[in-house]
């Protein structure tokens, strides 16, 4: 009888694309994939090191699996497993912990799935994680996450990702195009490009430190692939989002007018302390260039509050900077100290209470910005990709410029692209619409 495997993924789109690839390996080894809530012979947890209380989350997920099947084999992979392997191996019920170089070979580490007395660790120095393994997610959601790049060579002082994922390296352009074709052949309408620092795409493509191709060349090549309806850039560093890419997206067949660009702070002194590679003036340039060629574009912003040295005045500078910018929503992160980071020993520590207060203020600003953006789209004609879940009698979806819409549940709409006119905003903040043409089947 087929062995059953279940997965739990924490963190980013990159982690989801890698879980999906690892799951396909299990299927090719004859495992049947079941939901994490169901009884399985092995549970695989793909961990994240950025998640708040990552350790508590991990322990509760292991407990959840053990409750369903105390005999099951429990394996941990991902960024947290690379950063703190022994800490995870010491958690009751964990049998195997694999680091960044081993996670894609997990099926090689499985014997008869009998539990180990203590968690076995197969991890390595992150310097060894210098080779590239491609991945993409399929079947889990309406859109597919396509990994094009991994690791990072930047040294932002608050970040542990380079320690968890290694140096910047990229898939070959040919392989990315092949994966994109494979995804569109499965009737997936939207592909989201993902990685750690995707603007650095091309670095290490041919196994050396040089750039084989650039991100701009990747975008142009992907736009030519037949059958892909939509391409979305997940997140890109402002200094790596070149004007030529912005202009290309504004005229492209498939790339959607949605940019998610980490800012982190609206004050140049703090940006220097964070060792970010731009000043706020460059960020303004990028936003204005995007809005110049794509006035309806959606712009999402990552921002960190409570970084050491962020006084009330400097925080207000960030608040006002964001308030004045023509952006659409914020992802607000509360600064938290991470081991082995430069920022953890910087002076000017901000109290947790003040961090929480500032985070609340920026989340309030984000609601205001998103509302203003949605209002600016009312009356416009957009294309919606409908998702597959019946949410309390409603079907939801996103326009190309990331406006979230809803309408009464209709299974015929699932995973279809329809042209609509946005009419008004409902009390829950989602946008209603009217179909402007016959339904496309």
Residue ranges in contact with ligand SF4 by CB under 6 A: 152, 154, 156, 159, 161-162, 196-197, 237
Nearer to ligand SF4, 23 or 196 (CB): 196
Return the number of the residue (276 or 382) whose C-beta is nearest ligand SF4: 276
Of 5 and 240, nearer to ligand SF4 (C-beta) is 240
Shortest spacing between CB 201 and ligand SF4, in angstroms: 13
What is the Cα–Cα distance from 24 to 197, expressed in whole angstroms?
Answer: 25
Half-sphere exposure for 217 (CA within 13 Å, toward CB): 13
Q: How many CB atoms lie within 10 A of CB 141?
A: 17
Number of neighbouring beta carbons within 10 Å of residue 378: 15
Which CB sits closer to ligand SF4, 14 or 180? Answer: 14
Query: Minimum CB separation from ligand SF4 for residue 154, in Å?
Result: 4
Q: Shortest Cβ distance from residue 156 to ligand SF4 (Å)?
A: 3
Question: Judged by CB, which is closer to ligand SF4: 301, or 403?
Answer: 301
- Count other Cβ atoms within 10 Å, centred on residue 409: 15
Tell me whether residue 134 or residue 162 sits nearer to ligand SF4 (CB atom): 162
Helix 352-377 vs helix 312-324: angle between axes, to the nearest 10 degrees?
A: 10
Rounded least distance, CB 199 to ligand SF4, Å: 9
- Which residue lies nearer to ligand SF4 by CB, 163 or 322? 163
Min dist. Cβ of residue 278 to ligand SF4 (A): 11
Q: What minimum distance in Å lies between the beta carbon of 371 and ligand SF4?
A: 28
DSSP β-ladder status, 258-264 and 298-305 = parallel
Phi, psi of 433 (to 5 degrees): -155, 175
Instruction: Compare residues 342 and 417 and give the one whose CB is closer to ligand SF4.
Output: 342
Beta bridge partners of 47: 78
User: Nearer to ligand SF4 by C-beta: 166 or 397?
Assistant: 166
Please say which residue, 162 or 257, places its beta carbon nearer to ligand SF4: 162
CB of 420 to ligand SF4, least distance (A): 35
Give the shortest CB-338-to-ligand SF4 separation in angstroms: 10
Write down the least CB distance from residue 196 to ligand SF4, Å: 5
Q: How far is CA 280 from CA 264, 267, 284, 314, in A?
A: 10, 7, 6, 13
Question: In the structure encoding, which two tokens stand for residue 178, read together?
Answer: 């092949």
CB of 379 to ligand SF4, least distance (A): 37
């Amino acid at each position: 009888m087929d062995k059953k495997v279940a997965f739990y993924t924490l963190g980013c789109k990159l982690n989801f694309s890698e879980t999906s690839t690892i799951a396909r390996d299990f299927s090719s080894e004859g495992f049947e994939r079941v939901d994490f809530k169901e009884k399985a012979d092995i549970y695989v947890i793909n961990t994240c090191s950025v998640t708040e209380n990552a350790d508590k989350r991990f322990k509760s997920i292991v407990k959840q699996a053990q409750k369903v099947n105390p005999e099951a084999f429990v394996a941990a992979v991902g960024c947290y497993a690379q950063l703190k392997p022994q800490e995870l191996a010491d958690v009751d019920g964990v049998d195997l912990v694999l680091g960044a170089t081993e996670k894609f070979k997990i099926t090689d580490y499985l014997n008869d799935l009998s539990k180990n007395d203590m968690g076995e660790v197969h991890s390595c120095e992150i310097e060894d994680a210098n080779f590239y393994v491609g991945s993409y997610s399929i079947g889990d959601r309406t859109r597919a996450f396509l990994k094009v790049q991994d690791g990072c060579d930047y040294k932002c002082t608050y970040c542990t990702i380079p320690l968890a994922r290694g140096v910047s390296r990229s898939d070959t352009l040919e392989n990315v195009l092949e994966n994109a074709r494979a995804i569109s052949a499965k009737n997936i309408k939207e592909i989201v490009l993902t990685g750690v620092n995707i603007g650095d795409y091309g670095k290490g493509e041919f196994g050396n430190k040089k750039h084989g191709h650039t991100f701009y060349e990747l975008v142009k090549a992907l736009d030519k692939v037949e059958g892909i309806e939509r391409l979305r850039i997940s997140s890109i560093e402002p200094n790596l989002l070149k004007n030529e890419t912005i202009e290309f997206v504004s005229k492209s067949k498939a790339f959607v007018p949605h940019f998610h660009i980490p800012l982190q702070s609206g004050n140049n002194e703090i940006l220097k302390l964070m060792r970010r590679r731009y000043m706020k003036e460059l960020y303004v340039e990028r936003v204005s260039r995007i809005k110049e060629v794509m006035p309806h574009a959606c712009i999402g912003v990552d921002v960190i509050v409570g970084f050491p040295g962020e006084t009330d005045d400097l925080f207000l500078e960030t608040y006002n900077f964001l308030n004045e910018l023509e952006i659409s929503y914020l992802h607000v992160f509360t600064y938290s100290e991470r081991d082995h980071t430069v920022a953890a020993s910087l002076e000017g520590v901000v109290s947790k209470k003040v961090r929480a207060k500032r985070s609340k203020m920026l989340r309030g600003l984000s609601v205001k910005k998103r509302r203003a953006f949605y209002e600016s789209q009312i009356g416009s004609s957009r294309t919606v990709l409908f998702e597959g879940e019946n949410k309390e009698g409603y079907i939801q979806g996103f326009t190309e410029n990331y406006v979230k819409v809803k309408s009464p549940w209709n299974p015929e709409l699932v995973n279809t692209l329809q042209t609509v006119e946005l009419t008004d905003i409902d009390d829950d903040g989602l946008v209603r619409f009217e179909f402007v043409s016959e339904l496309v089947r």
